[in-house]
Amino acid sequence: MIVLVLTVSPPKLRGHLTRWLFEISPGVYVGKVSARVRELLWQQVLENIAKGRAVMVYPTNTEQGLDFKVHGQEWEPVDYEGLKLIMRPNTNQKQINNQRKKVGWSTASRFRKYGR
């Protein structure tokens, strides 16, 4: 059984997915398909979802008993000693990187420049 969650997906993709999976809630699809069909569905999702996000969860023969694929999110899956986890982005590091990217004049220099 697989669970596929989509946000901001085009109607074409939703229609294609309903051929294989049941839509139990808006953007949430559930079904039992083979591994080959599952991979083809994931490729279809990657090709058609432009700005949206997608998460697919499916069973595997691992210690956790499941695996997942993520597309279009800041959170990313990582392998930690055989366990697959989701790594959360460090918001403090992102804020530091955004501050470094700012180019231009400071507020104080703008006040001095325009004589305020």
Instruction: Give residue limits of the domains in the chain.
Output: 2-89
Q: What pLDDT, on the 0 to 100 scale, is given for residue 33?
A: 94
Q: What pLDDT, on the 0 to 100 scale, is given for residue 54?
A: 92
CATH number of the 2-89 domain: 3.30.70.240
Q: What pLDDT, on the 0 to 100 scale, is given for residue 21?
A: 94
| Alpha carbon distance 13, 85 (integer Å) | 28
pTM over 0.75: no
Q: What pLDDT, on the 0 to 100 scale, is given for residue 99?
A: 61
Residue of 86 and 99 predicted with greater confidence: 86
Across 37-41, 104-108, 109-113, the highest mean pLDDT is recorded for 37-41
| Alpha carbon distance 64, 81 (integer Å) | 12
